[in-house]
Structure 1
Amino acid sequence: MMTETTIGSAAISPSAGDQDAVASIPRRVVAAWAAHDAAAFAELFTEQGSMVLPGVFQKGRDEIRSFMTGAFAGPYQNTRVTGTPVSVEFFSDATAVLITEGGVLHQGESEVAAERAIRASWVVVKENGQWLLAAYQNSPREKR
């Protein structure tokens, strides 16, 4: 799925390691969510990363950690999340955009209910050799 990307006249061929690292970010989010680990979830973002969900805007790791701590104790308690990449584009050796489909799974569910199905945009950047989320945004997958 991850292929060479051309921007202007420069060809960008990410290394296999970078491709794997970027592709692992949604899996790491799924794992942090499954553990209801708000700290691990927030650490996937840059220090000033942003998270936009319907009706929610959080800026920075501290805000994201705090929001997810409350969410895991409240509306996201006993939930899991899923996210499968449908598109990955590298724009430089340190910037990529992922598009995923998924959503929140309630206890006992194996598929995301249509009303909770989402598409998400993930802007990822490489900082100090590590790929992190600079911005995450999701919206309903289909019109309701």
Structure 2
Amino acid sequence: MSTSTELVTEPADADKAAIAALTQRVAAAWASHDADAFADQFVDNATMILTGVFCSGRDEAREFLTQAFQGPFKGTRVTGTPISMRMLGDNAAILLSRGGVLASGETEPSHQRAIHASWVVVRHGAEWRLAAYQNTPVNNPW
């Protein structure tokens, strides 16, 4: 836990586990193409930024994913590995990860679908929720 003089600290083991559980809920919702379960991992006024996509609020994320799971993300899964995690006070944290979207049969993201992601998470009651999610391609397209 942080003190008033330390804004950025190493998370306690319980917070690490709870934030990891959030990422697992996100991956499970994606794997089942459940836009409602995915959106439920966000706070009401969260933001989600994907390549070419900006969603403001949980409902916009839900709407986008409802369509995407029927179109370009149909049959896909997501994967990710934490790079770093740090607390921003007692009730907020940032997780950086590397992963991507997996097409059917893939175990690693393709060169084109590998991403780095920033997860800004906040304590919401007894659980952690996403306040902001943003990802960007790992591989420079230029």
| TM value normalised by structure 2 | 0.91
Q: Which runs of 5+ in 1 are unaligned?
A: none
Contact 1:14 1:93 in 2 (8 A): no
Match of 1:27? 24
Q: How far 1:70 moved relative to its partner?
A: 0.3
- Taking the aligned partners of 2:85 and 2:6, their CA distance within structure 1 comes to 19
Change (3 A) 1:76 1:14: same
Give me the CA root mean square deviation. 2.0
User: Cα deviation per residue 1:37-57 (whole Å; 9 max; x = unaligned)?
Assistant: 000000000011110011100
Following superposition, the deviation at residue 23 of structure 1 comes to 1.7
CA contact (8 A) 2:48 2:54 kept: yes
Letter of the aligned partner of 2:58 in structure 1?
R
Residue from 108, 125, 129 that aligns with 1:132? 129
Cα 1:68–1:58 change in 2 (3 A) is same
Aligned-partner SS, 1:73: coil
Give the direction of change, closer, same or farther, for the CA distance of 1:119–1:6 in structure 2 (3 Å limit). farther
List aligned pairs for 1:1-144, cutoff 5 A.
Answer: 8-9=5-6, 12=9, 14-144=11-141
Assess, with a 3 A threshold, how the Cα gap between structure 1 residues 50 and 15 changes in structure 2: closer, same or farther: same
CA distance in 1 between counterparts of 2:6 and 2:88 reads 12
Contact in 2 for aligned 1:7/1:91 (Cα 8 Å): no
The alpha-carbon distance between structure 1 residues 143 and 6, as it changes in their structure 2 partners (threshold 3 A), is: farther
Q: After TM superposition, which residue ranges in structure 1, 4 or more long, deviate above 3 angstroms?
A: 4-15
- Between stretches 8-17 and 119-128, larger displacement belongs to 8-17
